[in-house]
Structure 1
């Protein structure tokens, strides 16, 4: 009997789980990977593009049949997913399957904040969550000579919880390189009380300390209501001026899903039999009630777990699917120095995360990870 498994999305999670499925399933079973372009980017590299340490072309991810042997690659846009029937509607037709893995990521939604789209269109604001945005943000920062740079988290949750604070630190580093750091004030605004709240208050306070040491102001519990030309309006009527805005736009679940997909913490299984979700499209709630961070390291870590779950669902022998909850991320400070946060995010009653002191070795470790992923998928 031949089974068909469909994986939606060719980001880090989708690529890794498709590869893992091909390794675990018999040759007779089909593994279909669906993506609208198969032309992506490593999220961990975007801030390095902004900083000028990478060019856009160097961080593209373009998987080929040679890098995913045995995986059928289908170029199509997913328009609707019927979870109950495991039926995927695309602009190229309908796919039915025996098991479905959703790894569609998250979408940016600047229109959710009044005035933000206009600020982005005018060039007064930019973002570093897309490849084009990161490259354009570098140009804006290089041209900045004086005034105030505001780094804004518009909504939570968002991809890569460290990114806004890394972005501020790397922007300050670039402004030092261009010789105008003393003429530019840098401030970060976020709805959360501290950076990376899922990692605990100790890690948050340590990150605030790193920002302060670099002369960057931190403003927690600031929920944006609207953006105008040169002004941020927060809940409660607080107004803050800016000359250049670097924004983390609101994130929304893929339109084809209609919402984030809740998953079981140890298996990434959804409430629908035969359907799993990993990466940014999923919603895994930790013991402390906060969501698992939307980060590639967790999507990659989920791949083996989901592959085992799919194999067992299809009647094949495989280990029990079990996610250990461990993960790590790097926090770039500039000057090619990084800190590293690492721990057990499923530990009860709350994640146990250690923030290791900044070191050039952590920057090199992140660069090695980047290089390995690019080589792996661009074979």
Structure 2
């Protein structure tokens, strides 16, 4: 979407009855989860359950950083974490004739650790001659010491090197504290500030109100068993971005689709066993891979074991057309599954 290779209808998925045989689909907004009563309240019904899987993702809260919502409303900032947001940001980049684009992470945790840096590569590719000649420059800002810190320093340093090779600036330990939309300036927690002409922001991520209503933690992020994805409630599981899964080194597992998909298969077996079906027990292994598009139909690939005893063991392989094609093939398989 951000690069213009896809349109919203190309990637939007609306599961059909054919793709979910034997499943009763209910389209509604979850208002409240009552764990004690074992019911889910929606905007149009109350649904009881014997087993519950919470997969409510993470919400965006631009009001969490003072001035950020104003900057978005004033069209001096954009975000790429929604379909409409990515399309609108692409249009803003297209209209920028000169100046500085800041790609800033407004808070952690956030979905897809590679996404902000991938966005910088994709924006650079979109700019073409405007970027190659230095008419527009791109800088990235993160509160972390390195990109993708959970993957380890070698991966982070390799990604910084990739950014440098593409002429993209990297500014670590920059916690966004405030945005002045009129002055087009970012202010950080360390007292420094940086100007921009266009801000491409990773908005602060928060637990959804529905997930928070379950009362499974004070923060709203749902703690789960690393192997089974079970929660503190006997018949409740949670998967994906709604969870907080603590790794052996004490850090949280990144929020990424590859993990959510693997967790879903584990939980499906766990739920079946809980309901009395004779199926094999499965455990989440913490292994997974993701891709970092560089904008030129090439992609780097990060692959590894996040459950390794002392720290995640992850390798970032250099960009290649092969990895880009792998990612496209995965996208096609996913869309085909749910559009059948």
Q: Once the two structures are superposed, what CA deviation does each residue of 1:350-376 show, in whole Å capped at 9, x if it has no partner?
A: 110111111000000000111111111
Q: Distance in 2 between matches of 1:180 and 1:73?
A: 50
SS of structure 2 residue aligned to 1:164: helix
Contact 2:54 2:211 (C-alpha < 8 Å) held by counterparts:
no
User: Is 1:342 equivalent to 2:296 in the alignment?
Assistant: no
Q: Distance in 1 between matches of 2:162 and 2:299?
A: 11
**Normalized against structure 2, the TM-score is what?**
0.95
Cα 1:210/1:335, change in 2 over 3 Å: same
- Tell me how large the CA RMSD over aligned residues is: 1.1
Contact 2:240 2:259 (C-alpha < 8 Å) held by counterparts:
yes
Q: Which 4+ residue blocks in structure 1 deviate beyond 4 angstroms?
A: 177-181
Residue of structure 2 in register with 1:305 after alignment? 266
Q: Distance in 2 between matches of 1:184 and 1:339?
A: 24
Q: Distance in 1 between matches of 2:171 and 2:333?
A: 36
Give how far 1:338 is off: 0.2
Residue of structure 1 in register with 2:279 after alignment? 318
Q: Once the two structures are superposed, what CA deviation does each residue of 1:233-281 show, in whole Å capped at 9, x if it has no partner?
A: 0012101000000000000001012201100000100011010000110
Moved more, 106-115 or 54-63: 54-63
Correspondence 1:60-139 to 2 at 5 A: 60-139=12-91
1:233 to 162, 179, 187: 187
SS of structure 2 residue aligned to 1:257: helix
Contact 1:145 1:180 (C-alpha < 8 Å) held by counterparts:
no
Q: Distance in 2 between matches of 1:178 and 1:221?
A: 28
SS of structure 2 residue aligned to 1:315: coil
Correspondence 1:82-231 to 2 at 5 A: 82-176=34-128, 182-229=134-181, 230-231=184-185
Q: Distance in 2 between matches of 1:337 and 1:292?
A: 26
User: Is 1:249 equivalent to 2:210 in the alignment?
Assistant: no
1:279 to 216, 240, 263: 240
Contact 2:131 2:137 (C-alpha < 8 Å) held by counterparts:
no
Residue of structure 2 in register with 1:5 after alignment? none
Give how far 1:211 is off: 0.3
Q: Distance in 1 between matches of 2:314 and 2:285?
A: 14
Give how far 1:182 is off: 1.7
Correspondence 1:29-48 to 2 at 5 A: none
Moved more, 324-333 or 179-188: 179-188
Contact 1:141 1:175 (C-alpha < 8 Å) held by counterparts:
yes
Contact 1:84 1:272 (C-alpha < 8 Å) held by counterparts:
no
Give how far 1:179 is off: 6.4
Give how far 1:181 is off: 5.1
Q: Distance in 2 between matches of 1:243 and 1:237?
A: 20
Give how far 1:316 is off: 1.3
Q: Once the two structures are superposed, what CA deviation does each residue of 1:75-112 show, in whole Å capped at 9, x if it has no partner?
A: 11000112233311111121111000000111000000
**Tell me, which stretches of 5 or more residues in structure 1 are unaligned?**
1-48
Cα 1:181/1:228, change in 2 over 3 Å: farther
Give how far 1:66 is off: 1.3
Contact 2:51 2:236 (C-alpha < 8 Å) held by counterparts:
yes
Residue of structure 2 in register with 1:368 after alignment? 329
Contact 1:211 1:217 (C-alpha < 8 Å) held by counterparts:
yes
Q: Distance in 1 between matches of 2:110 and 2:35?
A: 24
Q: Distance in 1 between matches of 2:254 and 2:39?
A: 28
2:254 to 269, 293, 306: 293
Q: Distance in 2 between matches of 1:350 and 1:180?
A: 38
**Tell me, which stretches of 5 or more residues in structure 2 are unaligned?**
213-219
Give how far 1:62 is off: 1.2
Contact 2:98 2:130 (C-alpha < 8 Å) held by counterparts:
no
